[in-house]
């Protein structure tokens, strides 16, 4: 970042470029293989989105981005928080149930509900942190188990305390926070709490680059032994990072709850799967605030635009899940290839400079 | 090391002792279950029907765990088992429908799982991508591809729909083995202590059991034999313990890792095939429902060994099947776990591990109170059982487990000094 180096920027963009080419190629091949028309598919996908879709894309981007920040907090320190899904499901339920209780009014209710979401998400993911530091259990396995437990637990709580309506169960309805309508009313509104994503992104950048905690976090991610030698308590770092990651995860669905959903219902109003999308986007954007923003926008665009496929083509919208998966796999492979290539380039430069230096002294 | 000759005596004796230990634990477990069954008067706890359901629930978990075993023994962590398994469900349905034979379908399931394994091998072995990252990506691709392929290929078929395909032929079922099935079932109906429980197990294994289940149990034995008794297996495991040393001995580490991960994917795929063809009435989207992860947990539970893996898979399979049965049986399960925890407490008190004893006594007592104060357990809590068990077992046992030394570590050709 010190000097403008076109080659460094070129190398940094090479990874994503390879990934996009690979995912486009694979998607096209899969569509052609089952006998549909890739041309129709791409022209529908590249069609400029209608106002309604544009609003949806922004709302979705915000939620996916928050999820990606949550994942990245763990990744930057070498922790795999695969449990985002469970953390935000449980936190969303708790916040929705509290908000539905209407113990407070107006913005106080919203604010306290958000705090509850953060607390529940943090507490649930801290379990994995504590298991790792005290009992040596890998966070990968424990968070996966906690996902399943959380989702079943929410199902039980909802059944017991929720509002039963026909075949569905949900929490008590709440008042929405009115958003911003950029187009006409029928095109929907951009939710107020989309601001959470912006705060999460900025907060993440400040935390990593401007605070001691952020430095310790990155140091622990790079080398645990070095971090320990410089006075970082690894156990405390692990629990704090897990709790922080889970706390942000708790906020993932909050924009939708107060923007449109009005209640929490499994399989109805609640949008599941954002946790896994967040992990994918964090990998895609290399855990960098700006990189993840592009990743979140891309994933949101693919998800929202794929709805148009049903009317315009015979390709099922689930095709974009393949595109997304291949993009993630291709990008991690491409980064690794670029990293090795760059290491080789640097070695060559160093050996050249050393060579001339020895010649000069000789 | 001053001598190069070692007598095989002590090693064999230790191994036999370990084997006897396993047998002892298994018999002890049956005895405890039997005791709880009689005390709580819930014969369904070990009825032939329950054991049969448990075997069906065990098989997919076992295959996923076996997939994990193959990969991790070669040093590759395979979180992508879930994705490979889900690809297997589609492969089984697709190939069974078009060939008319469920066995071709199982081969198709193995093939699809292997494709997932190949992706994982390319990413982790050739390109050195982090194993967890690659696995997460493969799970995304697996679920996405299966959903899409099912919609594209099953929608217009007879018995099919965008999210399912039913009415497929199933692998041969062995109805009964003359002489054994009948007498075992009779013995099981007597509800005697211990004997009837063992008889139940024998009856379930010999009556109305899918041939595929038996093939799966045979695959566990075969995997154990190949990995621990052949030179191929020794070389494969050396890649998981110390790839640099293996390389200096002339082992083609990349090749062995590829083979291991491909087999791993195939195993997970077959597990998916079992789910689609035997465990349910046909294919449906997202049928695996996290069983790939449970299989992985079963393998860790089993200390990266086939025997332990079998024990882990049976435990998870048993708890998984109980939730589909009598709620009263699940209620008795509370007493079972409470008794087990209190037994561990006593053991720890005897060994003077007071902190460990307290850690066991508290949940043990809580479960006992829960059992005595209620009549039934909500179904949701039962479906949580495998996951909670996994967490508990890992929290208690991780320190005693030993994974392959180079498991999950990146390795590059030529890195041996």
At residue B16, the pLDDT reads 61
Query: Measured between CB atoms, does A145 come within 8 Å of chain B?
Result: yes
B-chain CB neighbours of A279 within 8 Å are: 136
- What DSSP string runs through A153-209? HHHHHHHHHSEEETTEEEPPP-PPPP-B-SS-GGG--B-GGGHHHHHHHHHHHHHHH
Query: Measured between CB atoms, does A297 come within 8 Å of chain B?
Result: no
Judgement on whether residues B217 and B336 belong to the same structural domain of the protein: no
Q: Residue B9 class from Cβ within 10 Å (0-12 exposed, 13-18 middle, 19+ buried)?
A: exposed
Select from B323, B352, B380 the last residue of a domain.
B323
What's the number of CA atoms in the CB half-sphere (13 Å) around residue B62?
A: 27
At residue B3, the pLDDT reads 42
| Residue (of B321, B362, B354) closest to B338 by Cα position | B362
A-chain CB neighbours of B148 within 8 Å are: 30, 316, 318-319, 321-322
| Residue B13, domain member (yes or no) | no
Q: How far apart are CA A138 and CA A153, in angstroms?
A: 22
Q: What is the pLDDT of residues B251-299, one digit of tens each?
A: 999 999 999 999 999 999 999 999 999 998 889 988 888 899 889 988 9
Cβ-contact A173, A100 below 8 angstroms: yes
Judgement on whether residues B315 and B339 belong to the same structural domain of the protein: no
Quote the domain boundaries for residue B79: 39-323
A 10 A CB-CB count for B397 gives 15
Q: At what angle do helices A106-135 and B379-397 cross, to 10 degrees?
A: 40
Complex prediction ipTM = 0.88
Q: How far apart are CA B333 and CA B320, in angstroms?
A: 12
At residue A1, the pLDDT reads 44
Determine, for residues B132 and A319 on separate chains, whether the beta-carbon distance falls below 8 Å: no
* Cβ under 8 Å to A: B residues 103-122: 119, 122
| Total count of domains within chain B | 2
| Residue B382, domain member (yes or no) | yes
Low-confidence ranges of chain A (pLDDT < 50): 1-2, 362
At residue B36, the pLDDT reads 80
Query: Measured between CB atoms, does A346 come within 8 Å of chain B?
Result: no
Q: Residue B192 class from Cβ within 10 Å (0-12 exposed, 13-18 middle, 19+ buried)?
A: middle
> Domain map of chain A by residue range?
37-313
A 10 A CB-CB count for B243 gives 26
- Strand segments, DSSP code E, in B242-309 are 282-284
Low-confidence ranges of chain B (pLDDT < 50): 1-8
Determine, for residues B148 and A321 on separate chains, whether the beta-carbon distance falls below 8 Å: yes
Query: Measured between CB atoms, does B397 come within 8 Å of chain A?
Result: no
A-chain CB neighbours of B127 within 8 Å are: 333, 336-337
Element (H, E) at A321: helix A319-361
Minimum Cα–Cα distance from B121: chain A residue: A333
- Strand segments, DSSP code E, in B189-248 are 209-210
| Mean predicted lDDT score pLDDT of chain A | 89
Q: How far apart are CA B268 and CA B118, in angstroms?
A: 13
What are the φ and ψ backbone dihedral angles of B407, each rounded to 5 degrees?
-65, 125
At residue B28, the pLDDT reads 79
Q: What's the token pair of residue A65?
A: 């981005």
Task: Fold for A37-313, please state it.
Answer: ABC transporter involved in vitamin B12 uptake, BtuC (1.10.3470)
Q: How far apart are CA B190 and CA B46, in angstroms?
A: 12
At residue A64, the pLDDT reads 97
Judgement on whether residues B313 and B343 belong to the same structural domain of the protein: no
Q: How far apart are CA A160 and CA A169, in angstroms?
A: 9
| Residue B4, domain member (yes or no) | no
CATH number reported for the structural domain that contains residue B157 in this entry: 1.10.3470
Q: How far apart are CA B68 and CA B404, in angstroms?
A: 12
| Residue (of A217, A233, A275, A181) closest to A77 by Cα position | A217
At residue B34, the pLDDT reads 83
Judgement on whether residues B244 and B166 belong to the same structural domain of the protein: yes
Q: In which residue are the tokens 């997919």 written?
A: B60
Q: What is the pLDDT of residues B40-76, one digit of tens each?
A: 777 777 888 888 889 999 999 999 999 999 999 999 9
Give the nearest partner residue to B147 out of A137, A147, A321, using CB atoms: A321
A 10 A CB-CB count for A236 gives 12
Determine, for residues A141 and B398 on separate chains, whether the beta-carbon distance falls below 8 Å: no
Judgement on whether residues B300 and B342 belong to the same structural domain of the protein: no
């Amino acid at each position: 970042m010190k000097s403008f180096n076109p080659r460094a920027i070129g190398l940094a963009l090479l990874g994503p470029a390879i990934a996009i080419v690979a995912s486009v190629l694979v998607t096209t091949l899969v569509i052609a293989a089952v006998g549909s028309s890739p041309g129709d598919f791409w022209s529908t996908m590249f069609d400029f989105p209608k106002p309604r879709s544009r609003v949806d894309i922004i709302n979705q981007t915000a939620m996916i981005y928050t999820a990606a920040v949550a994942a990245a907090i763990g990744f930057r320190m070498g922790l795999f928080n695969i449990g985002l899904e469970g953390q935000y499901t449980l936190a969303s339920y708790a916040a929705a149930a509290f908000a539905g209780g209407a113990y407070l009014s107006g913005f106080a209710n919203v604010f306290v509900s958000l705090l509850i979401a953060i607390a529940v998400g943090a507490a649930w993911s801290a379990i994995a942190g504590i298991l790792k530091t005290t009992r040596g259990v890998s966070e990968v396995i424990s968070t996966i188990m906690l996902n399943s437990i959380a989702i079943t637990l929410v199902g039980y709580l909802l059944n017991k305390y929720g509002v039963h309506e026909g075949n569905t169960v949900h929490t008590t309805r709440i008042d929405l926070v009115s958003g911003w309508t950029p187009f006409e009313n029928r095109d929907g509104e951009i939710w107020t709490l989309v601001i959470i994503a912006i705060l999460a992104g900025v907060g993440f950048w400040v935390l990593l680059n401007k605070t001691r905690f952020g430095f310790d976090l990155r140091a622990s991610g790079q080398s645990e032994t070095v971090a320990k030698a410089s006075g970082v308590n690894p156990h405390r770092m692990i629990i704090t990072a897990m709790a922080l990651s889970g706390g942000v995860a708790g906020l993932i669905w909050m924009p939708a709850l107060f923007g449109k959903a009005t209640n929490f219902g499994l399989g109805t109003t609640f949008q599941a799967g954002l946790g896994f999308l967040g992990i994918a986007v964090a990998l895609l954007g290399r855990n960098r605030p700006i990189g993840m923003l592009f990743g979140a926008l891309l994933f949101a665009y693919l998800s929202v635009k794929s709805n148009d496929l049903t009317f315009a083509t015979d390709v099922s919208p689930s095709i974009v899940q393949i595109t997304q998966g291949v993009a993630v796999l291709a990008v991690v492979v491409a980064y690794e290839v670029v990293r090795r290539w760059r290491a080789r380039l640097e070695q060559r430069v160093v050996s050249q400079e050393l060579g001339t230096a020895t010649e000069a002294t000789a | 090391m001053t001598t190069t000759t070692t007598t095989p005596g002590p090693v064999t004796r230790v191994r036999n002792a370990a084997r006897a230990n396993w047998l002892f634990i298994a018999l002890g477990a049956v005895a405890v279950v039997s005791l709880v069954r009689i005390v709580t008067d819930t014969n369904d706890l070990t009825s032939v029907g329950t054991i049969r359901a448990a075997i069906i629930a065990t098989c997919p978990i076992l295959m996923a765990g076996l997939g994990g075993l193959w990969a991790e023994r070669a040093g590759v962590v395979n979180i992508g088992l879930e994705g490979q398994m889900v690809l297997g469900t589609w492969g089984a349905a697709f190939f069974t429908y078009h060939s008319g034979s469920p066995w071709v379908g199982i081969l198709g399931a193995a093939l699809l799982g292997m494709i997932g394994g190949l992706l994982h091998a390319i990413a982790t072995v050739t390109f050195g991508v982090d194993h967890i990252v690659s696995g997460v990506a493969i799970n995304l691709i697996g679920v996405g591809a299966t959903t899409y392929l099912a919609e594209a290929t099953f929608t217009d078929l007879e018995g099919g729909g965008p999210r399912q395909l039913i009415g497929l032929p199933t692998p041969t079922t062995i109805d009964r083995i003359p002489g054994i099935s009948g007498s075992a079932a009779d013995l099981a109906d007597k509800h005697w202590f211990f004997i009837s429980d063992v008889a139940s197990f024998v009856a379930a294994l010999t009556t109305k059991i899918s041939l595929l289940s038996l093939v799966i149990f045979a695959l566990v034995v075969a995997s154990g034999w190949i990995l621990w008794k052949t030179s191929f297996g020794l070389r494969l495991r050396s890649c998981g313990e110390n790839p640099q040393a293996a390389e200096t001995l002339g082992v083609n580490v990349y090749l062995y890792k590829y083979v291991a991960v491909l087999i791993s994917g195939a195993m997970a795929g077959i597990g998916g095939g079992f789910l689609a063809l035997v465990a349910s009435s046909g294919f449906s989207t997202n049928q695996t429902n996290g069983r790939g992860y449970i299989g992985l947990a079963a393998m860790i539970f089993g200390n990266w060994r086939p025997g332990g893996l079998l024990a882990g898979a049976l435990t998870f399979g048993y708890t998984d099947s109980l939730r589909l049965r009598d709620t009263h049986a699940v209620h008795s399960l509370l007493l079972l776990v409470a008794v087990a925890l209190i037994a561990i407490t006593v053991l720890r008190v005897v060994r003077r591990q007071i902190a460990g004893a307290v850690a066991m006594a508290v949940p043990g007592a809580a479960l006992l109170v829960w059992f005595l104060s209620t009549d039934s357990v909500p179904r949701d809590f039962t479906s949580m059982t495998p996951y909670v068990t996994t967490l508990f077992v890992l929290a208690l046992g991780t320190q005693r487990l030993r994974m392959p030394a180079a498991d999950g570590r990146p390795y590059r050709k030529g890195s041996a000094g």
